[in-house]
């Protein structure tokens, strides 16, 4: 009997709620309703190319970019790395007794996962290593536009082809046994002048070696840059894991009758990335809004994003006196046909908006605090060449005047994250050319709605 009364009460409440829905004011959401109804497509969306924000690039440890990429469509991208050099184990260091002779020194730069974007087949890179003339203040924030002064003296250089997926064979020192070859993860190994190691480590004062902070301030650090004059082909963007990067020193120590061949590692400490773009004539015309091809350009490494405006948003349902329920609103963005090769487009884009203070915030459909949030989208579909975003709640609020469009943006994002990440990304280089105006593939908004009977 109790269950019967409870079921009857539930039924009455449900009927009351359904009846109330008929008298809600004009446009609304029916989030639990089937995705059916009438379809209207809005192709009035305007997309323009704008420059990405500058951001702090301190300690991009897992994916530090080092690049020289002459993109035939976008222009030239250059990135450099300024990095602190630390004592072994980043702590006080005591010199071993005896006579030390350096066999060799290598700056070891392990690639990150998917650590290259560009031309790895035909291009040859030369990376130069210099000593910084100014120290990195670890408590200070540095933006990607910051350029560090460095010595013209070359500490090391390496010419190579980028092989971010190929393991490397190296000679491993085994104490008391013959050296042996071992296979290590993909990496670049740059020879470093032994004189630099002798001056700053083996011949340094005990005072400097007694404090890692003093050592770092004395040495100042290293500056890594791609030599533009000695790099062939169009180049590319390399990404290194600096958590595992170090200057490895192989040396012989003679102490009386004891001869020891061993090694030590000076780890790479705090780092800062400088990122610079020089754009092609087509991209510059898009930025100046003088282009006639209608292309829209989005680019990682703090390059470019697209600003979207919805000029017809208030008038979409004027003919229906706004007596509709929006079941679903989907933004469809297409990569321009023929531009997805040879350099793959962004694997994921993100859609976000500005608040009244022009700060980035999630759209309602991607906000954890909005009960209307759903599967947002943004992944690239290689079969269709499209990105799709569900923006039902955002569109509803724009139409009803509950939200103001202070700026809506489409931008590159971290493709490895499962979350909606609206921060500007300095660690991924992919780019896409999107179809803009005057094209059957232009950006569009598909809206499925149901007309209200009253």
Are 342 and 256 in the same domain?
no
Query: Count of domains in the chain?
Result: 2
**Residue 131: inside a domain, yes or no?**
yes
Residue 144: exposure state from Cβ atoms within 10 A (0-12, 13-18, ≥19)? buried
Residue matched to tokens 């222009």:
75
Do both 327 and 360 map to the same domain?
Answer: yes
CA distance 263 to 91: 17
Say if CB 242 and CB 64 are below 8 A apart.
yes
Q: Indicate whether 39 and 177 sit together in one domain.
A: no
258, 307: one domain: no
Q: What is the pTM of this model?
A: 0.89
For residue 10, pLDDT beyond 60: no
Residue 185's pLDDT is what?
A: 94
- Mean pLDDT to the nearest integer, 191-211: 97
Q: Which two tokens stand for residue 259?
A: 């001869």
From 278, 308, 327, the end of a domain falls on 278
Question: Are 307 and 248 within one domain?
Answer: no
For 309-332, the pLDDT digits (tens) are 999 988 888 877 678 889 999 999
pLDDT digits (tens, 9 = 90+) for 389-403: 999 999 999 998 999
Is the same domain home to 100 and 230? yes
Angle at 372 between CA 43 and CA 333, to 5 degrees: 25
Q: Residue 124: its pLDDT value, please?
A: 98
What band does 183 get if pLDDT is binned at 50, 70 and 90? Answer: confident
Domain membership flag for residue 424? yes
Q: Examine the fold and report which residue of 227, 244, 278 is the final residue of a domain before the chain moves on.
A: 278
- Note down the domain range covering 383: 26-52+300-451
Tell whether 295 is covered by a domain: no
The answer to whether residue 16 is domain-embedded is no
- Rounded Cα gap, residues 314 and 399, in angstroms: 5
Indicate whether 80 belongs to any domain: yes
Whether 68 and 48 map to the same domain: the answer is: no
Same domain, 31 and 154: no
Based on the fold, state whether residues 217 and 240 are members of the same structural domain: yes
pLDDT in tens, 214-272: 999 999 999 999 999 999 999 999 999 999 999 999 999 999 888 888 999 999 999 99
- Among 278, 311, 329, which residue terminates a domain? 278
Is the residue at 265 inside a domain? yes
Per-position DSSP letters for 351-401, written without gaps between them: EEEE-TTS-EEE-GGG-TT-TT----EEEEETTTTEEEEE-HHHHHHHHHT
Cα-to-chain-centroid distance, residue 336: 22
- Residue 229 CA to residue 113 CA, distance in Å, equals 28
Domain membership of residue 21 (yes or no) is no
Tell me if 8 is assigned to some domain.
no
Q: Rounded to 10 degrees, what is the CA torsion of 415, 416, 422, 423?
A: -100
* Mean pLDDT confidence for 169-195: 85
Residue 333 reports pLDDT greater than 80: yes
Question: In this model, does residue 373 exceed pLDDT 70?
Answer: yes
Same-domain pairing of 111 and 83: yes
- 77 plus 123 within the same structural domain: yes
**Looking at residues 109-121, what average pLDDT do you find?**
96
The answer to whether residues 181 and 147 belong to one domain is: yes
């Amino acid at each position: 009997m109790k269950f019967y009364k409870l079921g009857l009460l539930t039924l009455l409440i449900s009927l009351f709620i359904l009846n109330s829905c008929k008298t809600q004011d004009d446009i609304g959401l029916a989030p639990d309703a089937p995705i059916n109804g009438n379809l209207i497509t809005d192709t009035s969306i305007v997309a323009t190319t704008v420059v990405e924000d500058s951001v702090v690039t301190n300690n991009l440890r897992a994916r530090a970019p080092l690049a020289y990429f002459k993109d035939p469509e976008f222009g030239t991208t250059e990135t450099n790395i300024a990095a602190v050099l630390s004592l072994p184990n980043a702590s006080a260091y005591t010199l071993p007794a005896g006579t030390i002779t350096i066999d060799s020194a290598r700056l070891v730069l392990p690639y990150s996962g998917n650590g290259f974007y560009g031309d790895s087949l035909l291009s040859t890179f030369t990376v130069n290593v210099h000593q910084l003339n100014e120290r990195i203040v670890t408590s200070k924030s540095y933006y990607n536009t910051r350029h560090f002064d460095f010595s013209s003296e070359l500490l090391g250089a390496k010419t190579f082809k980028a092989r971010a997926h190929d393991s490397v064979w190296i000679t491993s020192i085994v104490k008391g046994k013959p050296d042996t070859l071992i296979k290590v993860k993909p990496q670049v190994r740059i020879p470093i002048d032994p004189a630099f190691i002798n001056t700053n480590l083996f011949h340094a004062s005990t005072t400097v070696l007694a404090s890692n902070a003093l050592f770092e301030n004395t040495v100042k650090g290293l500056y890594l840059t791609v030599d533009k004059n000695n790099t062939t082909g169009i180049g590319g963007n390399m990404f290194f894991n600096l958590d595992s990067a170090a200057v490895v020193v192989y040396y012989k120590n003679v102490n009386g009758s004891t001869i020891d061949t061993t090694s030590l590692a000076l780890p790479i400490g705090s780092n800062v990335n400088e990122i610079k773009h020089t754009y092609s004539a087509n991209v510059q015309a898009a930025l100046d809004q003088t282009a006639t091809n209608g292309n829209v350009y989005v680019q990682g490494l703090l390059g470019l994003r697209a600003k979207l405006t919805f000029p017809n948003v208030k008038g979409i349902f004027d003919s229906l006196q706004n007596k509709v329920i929006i079941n679903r609103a989907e933004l469809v963005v297409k990569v321009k046909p023929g531009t997805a090769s040879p350099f793959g487009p962004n694997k994921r884009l993100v859609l976000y908006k500005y608040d009244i203070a022009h700060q980035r915030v999630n759209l309602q459909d991607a906000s954890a605090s909005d009960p209307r949030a759903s599967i947002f989208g943004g992944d690239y579909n290689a079969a269709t060449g499209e990105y799709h975003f569900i923006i039902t709640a955002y569109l509803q609020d724009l139409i009803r005047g509950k939200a103001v469009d202070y700026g809506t943006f489409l931008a590159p994002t971290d493709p490895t994250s499962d979350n909606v990440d609206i921060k500007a990304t300095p660690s991924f280089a992919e780019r896409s050319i999107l179809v803009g105006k005057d094209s059957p593939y232009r950006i569009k908004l598909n809206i499925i709605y149901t007309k209200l009977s009253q």
